[in-house]
Amino acid sequence: MKVAVISDIHSNLNGLKWAISDAQSRNVDQIIFLGDYITDGYQDNEVLDLVMKYGGIQISGNRERIFETFDFNHVPINLEPIAWTYANLTQANRKYIKALPKVEEVKLGNYRVLVVHGDGFEHYPSIEKAFDNLIRVYDFDICLFGHSHDAQNYYYGNKYFINPGSVGIPITQDGYQYKIVTVYPELSIATYNKQTYHHLSTVVEDYKQSEYYRDNPLWASLILRNIITSEDFGPKFWRCFDEIATTYNHLSLSDQWQLTFALYNTRHNKSKHRCIPKMPDNSL
């Protein structure tokens, strides 16, 4: 039995279509989706339609669950792209993501498989500590998890922990990644990838012409850069935000947000620039 494991699509229809087509060409028996289907792009509804059509198992990610506690009456500038996503979801897809389970426990061949998204792992001092917690709570042989966009396999505590990577926002030069797990006649794990920095001109142009890009130009430009370059912008970007927020704590969140993007762009293009500007303006 062969199953494709796909995670962290983030509204990237191009990446999802490639992964589904590639998996089907390899004669998989079913596809397991690990969450984070939406946000960061303009094709959320199309992505969800394909997940529902092809997913044998589907769970929610933190991007689907964020709306459980989202305050639509007070949307800060850093969450405006998230609010945009919800506003543009169909009623049927809003209902669908709300009903998604957080965890699934299934049997594949002779293996007990735990399916989780993986958000919350970062709150543990190490990934092994996160695994220890899952081992205490659940009874399984294999754990499938995503969230980090990092395609890795671990063997820990006599159990397999498998992360398929991301087909939405890649963080390595391997580009889009997913995995096929074969559980019979023996366990095997294979990673498949598609480099994203070649032949993306049409994808880039369509993204730039979208309403999402028009309405959220700062965040959208960062996501698009990540898709093109496979650069893991997250740690660098949030480090800039922390530095700006600490240095200019008297400014509004909106001003801090603007400064963070300017600082990130400067650091990205000119690494020798000082991190903190002398004045809180847009001339970084």
155's torsion region: left (phi>0), alpha (psi -120 to 50) or beta? beta
Mean pLDDT of 161-188: 94
Could you report the per-residue pLDDT of 235-247, keeping only the tens digit for each?
899 999 999 999 9
Does the pLDDT value for residue 270 go beyond 90? no
Does the pLDDT value for residue 283 go beyond 60? no
What is the band of 199 on the pLDDT scale with cuts at 50, 70, 90? Answer: low
pLDDT (0 to 100) of residue 198: 64
pLDDT (0 to 100) of residue 269: 61
pLDDT (0 to 100) of residue 232: 86
Q: Tokens 């596809």 correspond to what residue?
A: 31
Does the pLDDT value for residue 115 go beyond 80? yes
What is the band of 173 on the pLDDT scale with cuts at 50, 70, 90? Answer: confident
Q: Rounded distance, CA 92 to CA 97, Å? A: 9
pLDDT (0 to 100) of residue 43: 97
Could you report the per-residue pLDDT of 50-78, keeping only the tens digit for each?
999 999 999 999 999 999 999 999 999 99
With 0.85 as the threshold, say if the pTM is over it.
yes
The string of DSSP codes covering the chain is -EEEEE---TT-HHHHHHHHHHHHHTT-SEEEE-S--SSSSS-HHHHHHHHHHHEEEE---HHHHGGGS--TTS--GGGHHHHHHHHHS-HHHHHHHHH--S-EEEEETTEEEEE---TTGGGSSSHHHHHHHHHHH---SEEE--SS---EEEEETTEEEEE---SSS--STT-EEEEEEE-SSS-EEEEEEE-SSSS-HHHHHHHHTSHHHHHSHHHHHHHHHHHHH---HHHHHHHHHHHHHHHTTTS-HHHHHHHHHHHHHHHHH-TTS-SS-SSSSS--
pLDDT (0 to 100) of residue 272: 36
